[in-house]
Amino acid sequence: MDAGPGARLLLAAACLLLACSFEENFTAPDGPYYDGDHSVEEPTPRDALLVVSYNLAFGDDVPAAIDALDREPLAGADVILMQEMDELGVEDIARARMLRYVYYPASVKHGDKWGNAVLSRWPLLEHHKVLLPWADPFSNTRRIAAAATIDVAGDEIRIYSTHIATPSLGLGARLDQIETILDDGDEAGLPTVVGGDLNTADPGSAGQVKELFADRDYAWASRDATDTGRAFGFDATLDYVFARGLEAGESATYRGEAGSDHQPIWVELELP
């Protein structure tokens, strides 16, 4: 039954008040995705894997991201996990840094695709999307993780780039989103890295997130990468890298200009 014009007007007004989204979610299990290879030579193995996680704030300032990723200690990253990206921004960064990549959008925001990417110096053997449970109660948007298996000089490592929902969803549902990623990682049975914007702005959430990872035998690899963004007017640690089957080394927050409301973080992980 079609609602009358008055009912449709009320629904539209309610959605405006609640910030409802009329934009698209990409919920198909197999895509869409975008991938490419801008590598020019085979990478040389090193003692440790350098992993960067970087939320670029709607992917707006790609030149600033390229500049930051060209500076120490981010330069030469083996793996870059990016969030809030569109396919053109990922392609530009991968080309500039001569990397392979896969990008999965989660939804459409402000008319552009919005999602997560894994960029790698090393070959990508497999990739897929992990659709996370629960929709945002106000915007109805869904979140995902972009998963990729990379070949590091003969060692296979599973990598996840993710962006967990904001505190408006509730902590229990956000922990469910993380568990969905961890369950997917268990199926691979490989050394695993999970990183991204975990949105731990609300009191108590950071502790429970870290406890959940610890219960699943993941180390908090980015322990020294703190104050990565702002929440409720205060500095906050919102971005993380966790690892299982790889020993964590040094980590820190990049303090240079990054073109985002988040600062990139980096970690070193000793190879198996």
What are the boundaries of each domain within the chain? 24-270
Closest CA to 55 of 183, 231, 220: 231
Q: Is 22 exposed, middle or buried (0-12, 13-18, 19+ CB in 10 A)?
A: exposed
Global pTM value: 0.92
What would the pLDDT profile of 213-265 be if each residue is shown by its tens digit?
999 999 999 999 999 999 989 999 999 999 999 999 999 999 999 999 999 99
Residue 258 to residues 68, 71, 200, Cα–Cα distance (Å): 6, 11, 21
- Can you list the residues of the chain whose pLDDT is less than 50? 1-19, 21
Q: Provide the CA 189 distance to its chain's centre, in angstroms.
A: 21
Residue 102 neighbours by CB distance under 10 Å? 25
- Confidence at residue 22, expressed as pLDDT on a 0 to 100 scale: 58
* Tokens standing for residue 263: 């600062």
Q: Does domain 24-270 have CATH number 3.60.20.10?
A: no
